Amino acid sequence: MRSKQTFSVSFWADQKNATKGEALLYARVTVNQKRSNISLKRRVPVNQWDAKKSRCKGAGAGARQLNNYIEQSYNKLFQIYQDLTYKEELVTAKIVKAKFIGDDEKSKSLFDLIEYHSKKIENTLSKGTIKNFGVTESYLKKFLEKEKKTTDIYLKQLDYKFLIDFENYLANVWPVGHPRAMSQNTIMKHIQRLRKMVTLAYHLEWLERDPFARWKPKYEKTNREFLSETELENLENHDFNSERLDRVRDLFVFSCYTGISYVDIMALKPDNVMKGIDGGNWIVTKRQKTKSSVKVPLLSRAEEIIEKYSNHPMTAVTASLLPIITNEKLNAYLKEVANHVGIKKNLTFHMARHTFATTITLSNGVPIETVSKLLGHTKIATTQIYARVLEHKVSADMDRLKDILKLQKKGLDSKHVSYME
């Protein structure tokens, strides 16, 4: 049986800290002899405050308004106490205060959520992913300021309309330094990040309903570019007069034959090269993005590149497996590489990973499950984005099918002749 609780509310003016003859008004909530003071954000003239009655003296409009506010505050505090008691929830002076001023979990704001989420991911996600969340958060801030004319909103204000309005806002954003407005898929990425934060709030029970329940992402299908067998061969065999471009080409080709991303290549040390189950050399590392283990048997071209830089001055200084270069410079220099080789595609370092998935592995009959493992993907659905069946592979497969059908037809014809004889 629950013990009886004591509850009381009193009002007082902080006359000791009065300024210009006015004192700040407070409500004092006491539950089981534990109390908590709440500022009512109102001031009362010291000479008009009746401490015994806890009310403002006088019959003027100002006194009546202040006394009405005190009465409303009392009713609200008492109602909070009654609601907690009726629901058989814990009742303390601090909890009553939190609900009164809107500081309980049901009154969390969007930027309360962003702050909590940022702390949650700071040691669990990669720097690149954390940076991407930061970009999304900055767009949310600009959206609120420009479209909603505010700096923050309560989570309970998030609804389907908010999502549509944010999507429309992003559609008209022209990112600094970009040649065009934000693409549809980039817009979806930002909303996807917002969705992850909102889902966290829902699981924390900061939200009673999920505003994304009826929202559907709208992605545009894109063709991920990769180098064909001929383009890759031309790139490998091109003679660069510049050592700088030669190094950039080598890094790109190494990724084409291993599928390892830029950030993971830059982290490789000689110790990452180990003997595998087949007795050959393997790269054994972890993806920075997903922390998943990656074990890649080294093809001969990749081994040649490692050997080339094994005693190179650049790798000696950094103690790295291959030369270190920033991602920005690497992608900038790849534009020069493409011009020299005659590659018309927009050559980026990530294209090497696509080339590994398509030209090197899938088009040569490597099963998609194996490719997924080599790429360090946690879901095979992610690998299917890269999966590309090349035209010459389709042609070769169909030629084999034609041969099989011809043989089958010949076999049937010979059986038919034997039967007739």
Render 298-326 in DSSP notation, one character per residue.
PPHHHHHHHHHTTT-HHHHHHT-SS----
Read off the pLDDT of each residue in 264-275 and give the average, rounded to a whole number. Answer: 94
pLDDT of 104 over the 70 cut: no
pLDDT at 54 over 80: yes
Burial annotation 113-129 (CB, 10 A radius, 16+ → b, else e): bbeebeeeeeeebeeee
pLDDT of 395 higher than 90: no
**% of the chain with per-residue pLDDT over 90:** 55
pTM: 0.59
- Tell me phi and psi for residue 232, to 5 degrees: -65, -40
pLDDT band of residue 368 (cuts 50, 70, 90) is: confident
Q: How confident is the model at residue 416 (pLDDT cuts 50, 70, 90)?
A: low
pLDDT tens, position by position, 109-120: 898 899 999 999
Our CA angle for 326, 331, 335, nearest 5°, is: 145
Higher pLDDT, 323 or 100: 323
Q: What pLDDT score was predicted for residue 3?
A: 53
DSSP character for 280?
A: S
Q: Span 234-263, mean pLDDT?
A: 95
pLDDT at position 127, please? 82
168 has pLDDT over 70: yes
Per-position DSSP letters for 193-253, written without gaps between them: HHHHHHHHHHHTTS-SS-TTTT----PPP-------HHHHHHHHH---S-HHHHHHHHHHH
Closest CA to 187 of 209, 163, 154, 203: 163
Is residue 26 a contact partner of residue 37, using CB atoms and an 8 Å limit? yes
CB 256 within 8 A of CB 360: yes
**pLDDT at position 386 over 60:** yes
Q: Are 306 and 273 in contact (CB under 8 A)?
A: yes
Please, which pLDDT band fits residue 37 given cuts at 50, 70 and 90? very high
Band of the pLDDT at 163, cuts 50, 70, 90?
very high
Amino acid 100 reads: F
Overall average pLDDT of the 174-198 stretch? 86
Lowest pLDDT segment from 22-31, 171-180, 347-356: 171-180
What band does 177 get if pLDDT is binned at 50, 70 and 90?
A: low
Question: Angle CA(30)–CA(32)–CA(34) in degrees, nearest 5?
Answer: 50
User: Which residues 6+ apart lie within 8 Å of 85 measured at CB?
Assistant: 5, 91
Query: What's the mean per-residue pLDDT of the chain?
Result: 87
Question: Residue 288, exposed/middle/buried by CB under 10 A (0-12, 13-18, 19+)?
Answer: middle
Is the confidence at residue 95, as pLDDT, over 70? yes
Does 107 have pLDDT greater than 70?
no
- Tell me what the mean pLDDT of segment 309-329 comes to: 93
**pLDDT score, position 419:** 42
Topology of 107-203 in CATH?
Answer: DNA polymerase; domain 1 (1.10.150)
- State the pLDDT at residue 406: 84
Mean pLDDT check: name the lowest of 93-102, 292-301, 367-376.
93-102
Answer whether residue 39 shows pLDDT above 50: yes
Q: What average pLDDT does range 323-345 have in this prediction?
A: 94
pLDDT score for 1: 36
pLDDT at 392: 60
pLDDT higher than threshold 80 for residue 137: yes
pLDDT tops 60 at residue 415: no
Check residue 420 and give its pLDDT. Answer: 44
Q: What is the mean pLDDT of residues 209-218?
A: 90
**What is the CATH number assigned to the segment(s) 229-386?**
1.10.443.10
Which residue has better confidence, 31 or 125?
31
Are the CB atoms for 155 and 206 separated by under 8 Å?
yes
